[in-house]
Amino acid sequence: MKNFIFTILVFFSLNTFASIAILSDLDDTIKITQSSGNVGDLLGDKVFTAIPDFFRATKDYSNELHVLSASPELIRGHVTHVLHKHVIRFKSLTLRESILEDKFDFKFREIKRILDASTDDFILIGDDLGEDPEVYSAIAGLYPNRILDVYIRVINGRPLKKKKSLTTYYTSFDLFLREYEAGRMGYSWVKTALDKLIKEVRTEYIFPKKAKCPTTYHVWQWQYETDFSNDARALVQKLTAACRVRQSVNILP
């Protein structure tokens, strides 16, 4: 009888998060593209610090990753190469077949198609440079019981009015910690992310050149109330100092 109960408990523990899937944008969410029409950026292969670790970590509680991008189908080979290079395993990769198609319409249709073909609950990840906030908000309104969280990386910091379903973030560590606070991310993975960001000397891999770079700690103050308070303070000090240096350089004549 004890063995039976133990088997049941193990089964449920392993399947607690079995019905979660993740859908992520590519450019300026995974890959540092600085979406501006620059071909060199579009065909680059740099990714945000610790983002590959984030997707590896989520494999502990999600069963698949869907990557959706408004980038042209023409560069599928390159996008696949970048994801494979950084060991980001995905179930599907959807790109825009016609560059004439409206990006909002394309993303809304394809996300709806993916959700309608699945019984999973979803976590959506994107950025504020394109239509992700508007598309994801519309999807969350259409599937209110299936969208667990919506994360939007702050790149240009544009106002996201009436988008209460969205959670903005500035760094990969923010994502790890938000997921930890949601009860999904493992403690050791958060420590891994902290270590990588603290040791990262290439600030542009955390805050790309065109990205908003906070010079005050207030956007991260929520982290001081978590289990990682002391480590978070050390990281915030590093990040705000780097952003202040960048700001001072940018305002020099």
Q: What is the mean pLDDT of residues 153-159?
A: 93
Give CATH for domain 16-186: 3.40.50.1000
What's the one-letter identity of residue 111? I
Number of H-type helices and E-type strands within the chain: 9, 6
Whether the predicted pLDDT of 8 surpasses 50? no
DSSP string over 28-95: TTTB----SS-HHHHT---B-TTHHHHHHHHTTT-SEEEEEEEEEGGGHHHHHHHHHHTT---SEEEE
Residue 225, Cβ neighbours under 10 Å: how many?
A: 10
Whether the predicted pLDDT of 249 surpasses 70? yes
* CB-count exposure of residue 100 (10 Å: 0-12, 13-18, 19+): exposed
Q: Is the pTM of this model over 0.75?
A: yes
User: What does DSSP say about strands 64-72 and 20-24: parallel, antiparallel, or unpaired?
Assistant: parallel
Greater confidence (172 vs 3) lies with: 172
pLDDT per position as a tens digit, 122-132:
999 999 998 99
Whether the predicted pLDDT of 14 surpasses 80? no
Domain spans in the chain, listed from the N-terminal domain onward = 16-186
- Check residue 36 and give its pLDDT: 54
pLDDT per position as a tens digit, 168-208:
999 999 999 999 999 999 999 999 999 999 999 999 999 99
